[in-house]
Chain A
Amino acid sequence: MSDASLHSTPITGAAAGEPDLRDYFALLKPRVMTLVVFTALVGLVVAPVPVHPFVAAVSILFIAVGGGAAGALNMWWDADIDAKMRRTERRPVPSGRVSPGEALGLGLALSGISVVMLGLASNIAAGLFLAFTIFFYAVIYTMWLKRWTPQNIVIGGAAGAFPPAVGWVAATGGLSLEPVLLFLTVFLWTPPHFWALALFVKSDYADAGVPMLTVTHGPDSTRRHIIAYAVILAIPALAIAATPIGGPVYLISALALNAAFIRGAWIVSRRSTAVAEADHFAAEKGLFKLSLYYLFLQFGALLIDASLRSAGLLPAWGWL
């Protein structure tokens, strides 16, 4: 649930001072919500406990609403720095379409509704886990780490890594090795994904005074961090293939995608800023794009294996 996005929030055309529903929806960071919905869906579907389709849909909906609530609280708190960055200056609060109080009220209300509804739809543990996720993103990441340490995106990225585990808990009521590996995959994927973006939009963070790694340690250190994380990321990503939720489709996908991601990160790590500027950060933009495919394809492969398993086309799998 990082702020990573190439796209700024679209202007809705609402008259100044008169927000419409799209402005409130934009507060929920719909692009980030797609990641939350998808990873939570995967966590819920691959869990070994069957869930009624309606309960599953409602659970995913309220996990998404909880993610959106955390986004609204983030926009309320960060309105000052959002106004200084080109990528975020058109968001509802810094642009003046929605007042900070409205963003806070919406974030708190949706937090309460989503936690209670997820608890009622699935189980109390999932509701409490979602509450912790919202707290982690809104308080630990947004209010504390983001402006304090260049490791902000590393620790804050955990908030975006919780949804697949929340989906798993919604289905099973407990945790095991598989959701931990799903969490670690998204957790270790977030920094190189975000730093690849920060390499070609770094001036924005410098203007806003956010201690992004590219600002505090420079692009060369950031490039080394990217390759280190890409290599470590491959460990949980490939370990998933050895658990009962893995399968042949996931194994092949994970091998190919991790090899491609490490290769892309290696290329980025070997480049200097001068070389990158000469070709308009082509490799960095390519790695950022690849990181999006990496997560969606890898988690999509888990869904395919789960479908094959439920259709009886896949024998028992897993060594861990």
Chain B
Amino acid sequence: MIRAEHELHRRRRGRNFGVGALLLGFAAIVFGLSVVKITNLGPTEGFDHVARPQLEMRADDPDAGNGG
């Protein structure tokens, strides 16, 4: 039977709190890194299932079809 408060829990309390703090710190780093990376990407357009005329090739555009 698993007791809620085992002797092992008391003995390892400091270590468990330490590991918990490390995991929280790691999560904070990943979150912070995500925020910094996303906010430093510059203007970004996501695909939103709506036709965008500015992305369509124009017949009078000399660069059309050349990746321009």
Q: Which residues of A contact B (CB under 8 A)?
A: 18-21, 52, 54-55, 58, 61, 117, 120-121
B44 at the interface (CB under 8 A from A): no
Please count how many residues in chain B sit with their CB below 8 Å of the partner chain's CB atoms.
Answer: 12
Cα–Cα, bound, A204→B19 (Å): 36
Complex interface bits, B29-52 against A, C-beta within 8 A gives 1, otherwise 0: 100110011001000000000000
Q: Which of B14, B18, B33 contacts A121 (CB 8 A)?
A: B33
Q: Which of A18, A19, A21, A58 contacts B29 (CB 8 A)?
A: A58
B3 at the interface (CB under 8 A from A): no
**Inter-chain contacts of B15 with A (CB < 8 A):** 19-21
User: Chain A residue with minimal CB distance to B8?
Assistant: A18
Given contacts A19-B15, A54-B32, 9 further A-B contacts (CB under 8 A): A20-B14, A20-B15, A21-B19, A52-B36, A54-B36, A61-B29, A117-B29, A120-B33, A121-B33
Interchain residue pairs A-B with the least CB separation, the first 9: A21-B18, A54-B36, A20-B15, A52-B36, A21-B15, A54-B32, A121-B33, A58-B29, A58-B33
B11 at the interface (CB under 8 A from A): yes
**Inter-chain contacts of B32 with A (CB < 8 A):** 54, 58
The smallest beta-carbon distance between A24 and chain B, in angstroms, is: 9
**Inter-chain contacts of B11 with A (CB < 8 A):** 18
User: Chain A residue with minimal CB distance to B37?
Assistant: A55
**Inter-chain contacts of B33 with A (CB < 8 A):** 54-55, 58, 120-121
**Inter-chain contacts of A120 with B (CB < 8 A):** 33
B29 & A52 in contact (Cβ 8 Å cutoff): no
Q: Which of B2-30 contact A (CB under 8 A)?
A: 11-12, 14-15, 18-19, 29
Cα–Cα, bound, A19→B11 (Å): 10
**Inter-chain contacts of A19 with B (CB < 8 A):** 15
A21 & B14 in contact (Cβ 8 Å cutoff): yes
The smallest beta-carbon distance between A52 and chain B, in angstroms, is: 6
User: Chain A residue with minimal CB distance to B11?
Assistant: A18
Cα–Cα, bound, A121→B19 (Å): 23
**Inter-chain contacts of A121 with B (CB < 8 A):** 33
| Most chain A Cβ neighbours within 10 Å, of B19, B29, B32 | B29
B40 & A52 in contact (Cβ 8 Å cutoff): yes
The smallest beta-carbon distance between A298 and chain B, in angstroms, is: 31
**Inter-chain contacts of A20 with B (CB < 8 A):** 14-15, 18
**Inter-chain contacts of B29 with A (CB < 8 A):** 58, 61, 117
User: Chain A residue with minimal CB distance to B12?
Assistant: A18
The smallest beta-carbon distance between A243 and chain B, in angstroms, is: 29
Q: Which of B12, B18, B19, B36 contacts A55 (CB 8 A)?
A: B36
Cα–Cα, bound, A121→B33 (Å): 7
